[in-house]
């Protein structure tokens, strides 16, 4: 018998697994920024929601932001890095979805585990985005599934920046409301 080592990669994968399940249960579909980048500026993108694939028409007014943010931040083709984890949209909970779904509610999503922090690139992106961002946090990713607590908030990039300025989100991490979200800018 063998056991996987507890690595940052394993913790990140578990965080994404819990995030994807929460999205499915709450009626949200998601697409990774890597898949957006590979789509080559298409008008319709394939989002995932549980076992469903949902074809979503991207409104023309948000398309430039989506394709700008979905470019790799490190410009490496063999190991790209993206500023956020996902673009998500509200599609509800149905057994099936139409061929092309017209959605009005979109936001960026970032999943943080443990003492996860905003990177310098994420901080810079908050100045650029017009879509809100949903920040999800799991304090103890190694907890048994029944005991996993997942906190989240949806805010505009500007509002998160205001929280940085008010030290609600700070360089050293501070909770907001019921959320135990430790987020701060990574020091270089």
Q: Is 95 left (phi over 0), alpha (psi -120 to 50) or beta?
A: alpha
Contact (Cβ atoms closer than 8 angstroms) between residue 135 and residue 153: yes
Q: pLDDT per residue over 11-47, tens digit each?
A: 999 999 999 999 999 999 999 999 999 998 799 999 9
Give 137's DSSP letter. Answer: E
Q: 181 falls in which pLDDT band (50, 70, 90)?
A: very low
Q: pLDDT per residue over 66-105, tens digit each?
A: 999 999 988 777 888 999 999 999 999 988 888 777 888 9
Q: Where are the domains of the chain?
A: 8-158
Nearest to 136 by CA among 87, 69, 181, 86: 181
Give 89's DSSP letter. Answer: E
pTM of the model: 0.83
* pLDDT at 109 exceeding the cut of 60: yes
Contact (Cβ atoms closer than 8 angstroms) between residue 88 and residue 23: yes
């Amino acid at each position: 018998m063998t056991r996987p080592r507890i690595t940052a990669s394993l913790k990140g994968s578990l965080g994404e697994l819990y995030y994807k399940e929460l999205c499915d249960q709450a009626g949200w579909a998601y697409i990774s920024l890597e898949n957006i980048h590979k789509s080559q500026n298409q008008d319709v993108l394939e989002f995932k929601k549980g076992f469903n694939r949902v074809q979503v028409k991207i409104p023309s007014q948000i398309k430039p932001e989506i394709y700008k943010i979905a470019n790799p931040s490190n410009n490496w083709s063999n190991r790209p890095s993206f500023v956020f984890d996902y673009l998500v949209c509200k599609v509800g909970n149905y057994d099936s979805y139409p061929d092309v779904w017209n959605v009005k509610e979109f936001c960026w999503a970032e999943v943080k585990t443990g003492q996860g922090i905003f990177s310098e690139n994420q901080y810079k992106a908050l100045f650029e985005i017009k879509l809100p961002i949903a920040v999800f946090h799991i304090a103890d990713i190694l907890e048994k599934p029944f005991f996993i607590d997942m906190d989240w908030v949806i805010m505009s990039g500007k509002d998160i920046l205001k929280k940085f300025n008010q030290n609600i989100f700070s360089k050293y991490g501070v909770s907001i409301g019921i959320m135990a979200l430790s987020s701060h800018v990574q020091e270089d």
